[in-house]
Structure 1
Amino acid sequence: MAKRKVIEDERKGEAESAESSSEESSSEDDADMLDVEFEWFDPQPQHDFHGLKTLLRQLFDVDAQLFDLSALTELILAQPLLGSTVKVEGNETDPYAFLTVLNLHEHREWPVIQQLTNYIQTQANRVPAIAQLGTLLNTSDNTRVGLVLTEKLINIPSEVVPPMYNMLLEEISWAIEEKEPYEFTHYLIFSKTYQEVVSALDEEDAPKQKKQKKAGNKGNAETFYFHPEDEVLHKYAAAFGSFEYQNEARESDSKRAFQELGMKPEGHLILIEAARFEEAVKSLQEYFNQG
């Protein structure tokens, strides 16, 4: 399938110089600059299955095994004119990022959508800030919720995200004109956050009094965002909140990543009423342009 639209975005990224000289000069002076050309494509059923499934597994983290990711990937690829992927070496390569929206009501008979809906309702019921999702996702109500799924590889800049949201708005508008089922009342964005936690190894060596003091501060832990755009979307949200994964994460040392503290990842949900979604998308573009 031909690509819908290609937007070239030259990003500057540092790459280490491969000089073999024995001189101990500053690495900053020797750094090279690498131009990367990002391209936005429609989802490609013949090329994107494995790449999208990998990104979905990353998005759902330790709870990914609770869902039929193969079926979810197939559902995303079954609507190739809605949503986008980001690639750097052409149409036939694996996506480095993606964004799509799924109609939870229209696809309610799909087992994987039932899995996702039940999962979101269960998690929302445990978090007062997003408890209203339990009722909103009840298919007997006159609501149409679009589940937005988006993820990118860690080293891909967040600036690739706003164009995908802009294209999604255009595609939804075209779909509605064609009487397709994408006239939503709400958008629900599935995301992820993390908190910094004390390494389990450090806690074993720490004095008992110190461990108790750190444990007492866990309730005040700062939330960090894997998706920086989430903080912008919060300003337009009817509700948002994080929740602990159903499967216990082995987070503290396996995700320590060369820093003193470990990471505890959590799921995150952002609910935006359809009337505010376009405004929220516009703010994303303005935010990253300023950055």
Structure 2
Amino acid sequence: MADPAVDKREDDDSSDDEDMDIVNVDFELFNYDPQIDFHGVKTLLRQLFDADSQLFDLSGLSDLIIEQNTIGSTCKVDGKANDAYAFLTVLNLQEHRAKKPIAQLIDYLTDRAKTNDSLSGAVPELLSSGKHVGLVLAERLLNMPAEVIPPMWTCMIDEIEAAVEDKEPYEFTHYLVVSRTYHEVASSLDQSERKQKKAREEPALQYFHPEDEEMRKHAVAAGTYEFTKGGEAVADSKRAFQEMGIKSCGFMMLIEADKFQGAVQAIAEYVGTAT
């Protein structure tokens, strides 16, 4: 499966600011390959779960994702043999709940959802109900253009529909999308009065994945949660010599199955409008 080329513009140091080189990059979508994709998927899972990634059996979770090679995809450059720049999958939590990586995730997501009133009324009960909930995991390198993402979601919907026709266990009542957000925080290393005042102000929520802002409009429940292993020291380490640090948060969206395709269509339109 191939996605149309995406033009990426980069500054040419030897020219004026107005002169730009256009680099054509072909992003291609591939089914998972157990012989190739383990390390790339594991690296992206570590990024997705951020400070809490050490709490999970990421190797076991990576294996589970790539073994399910007819659902979801990787996005790569320069052929299938390279590591993934992005990945997307959905896992049936009820079908796999006895397996260690999924049991860990169910316990973790239940616990984290209870810390946010927007999530606590729906997510924990649903995860313990025995209903078939599709856990959607998606991550990409931070400099990936958003244009490559809608084709991945569209392909996955088509694959789910085909799997349901074949009586495979992908007929979900809900989709639980796990993602990340962040907000800026003043460094704990700088205690100037101006920065202390700025730190006390309510920080604006920012999205690592801009399409999440649109997708959450279709969710029956959505909200952030603190990473259990996070802290101000982590935020300081992500300052990159800027005045404000970055504090990451987990983010969940619970979408009813009959609303999911509309949510995917909405993010495709949003990405097209926003670029």
What TM-score, normalized by structure 1, do the two folds share? 0.89
Query: In the TM superposition, what is the alpha-carbon distance from 1:36 to its structure 2 partner?
Result: 0.4
Opposite residue 266 of structure 1, the aligned amino acid is C
Deviations 1:40-69 (A, max 9, x none): 111111111100000000000010000000
Paired with 2:199 and 2:41, the residues of 1 have a C-alpha distance of 38
Tell whether 2:101 aligns with 1:100: no
> Secondary structure in 2 aligned to 1:72?
helix
Give structure 1 regions of 4+ aligned residues with deviation exceeding 4 angstroms.
Answer: none
Number of the residue aligned with 1:281: 264
Number of the residue aligned with 2:123: 133
Pick from 93, 98, 101 the counterpart of residue 112 of structure 1. Answer: 101
Deviations 1:145-180 (A, max 9, x none): 100000000111111111111011100000001100
Number of the residue aligned with 1:216: 200
Query: In the TM superposition, what is the alpha-carbon distance from 1:102 to its structure 2 partner?
Result: 0.4
Tell whether 2:92 aligns with 1:70: no
Pick from 212, 215, 219 the counterpart of residue 237 of structure 1. Answer: 219
Paired with 2:260 and 2:118, the residues of 1 have a C-alpha distance of 19
User: Structure 1 residues 119, 16: closer, same or farther in 2, change over 3 A?
Assistant: same
Paired with 2:112 and 2:222, the residues of 1 have a C-alpha distance of 12
What is the 5 A alignment of 1:117-196? 117-131=106-120, 132-138=122-128, 141-196=129-184
Is contact 2:52-2:227 (8 Å) kept? yes
> Secondary structure in 1 aligned to 2:9?
strand
Is contact 2:186-2:196 (8 Å) kept? no
Paired with 2:104 and 2:167, the residues of 1 have a C-alpha distance of 27
Deviations 1:216-248 (A, max 9, x none): 32xx21100001111111111000000100102
Deviations 1:172-201 (A, max 9, x none): 000001100000000000000001100122
Opposite residue 38 of structure 1, the aligned amino acid is F
Number of the residue aligned with 1:22: none
More displaced 10-residue stretch of structure 1: 59-68 or 10-19: 10-19
Sequence identity percentage:
49
User: Structure 1 residues 35, 215: closer, same or farther in 2, change over 3 A?
Assistant: closer
Deviations 1:195-222 (A, max 9, x none): 110012222xx14xx56534532xx211
What TM-score, normalized by structure 2, do the two folds share? 0.94
Paired with 2:83 and 2:196, the residues of 1 have a C-alpha distance of 47
Paired with 1:49 and 1:102, the residues of 2 have a C-alpha distance of 16
Q: How much is the aligned-residue C-alpha RMSD, in angstroms? A: 1.5
Pick from 22, 41, 44 the counterpart of residue 33 of structure 1. Answer: 22
Q: How many residues align?
A: 272
* Gaps in structure 1 of 5+ consecutive residues: 20-24
User: Structure 1 residues 14, 212: closer, same or farther in 2, change over 3 A?
Assistant: closer
Is contact 2:56-2:105 (8 Å) kept? yes
Paired with 1:247 and 1:142, the residues of 2 have a C-alpha distance of 29
Tell whether 2:253 aligns with 1:270: yes
Tell whether 2:247 aligns with 1:247: no
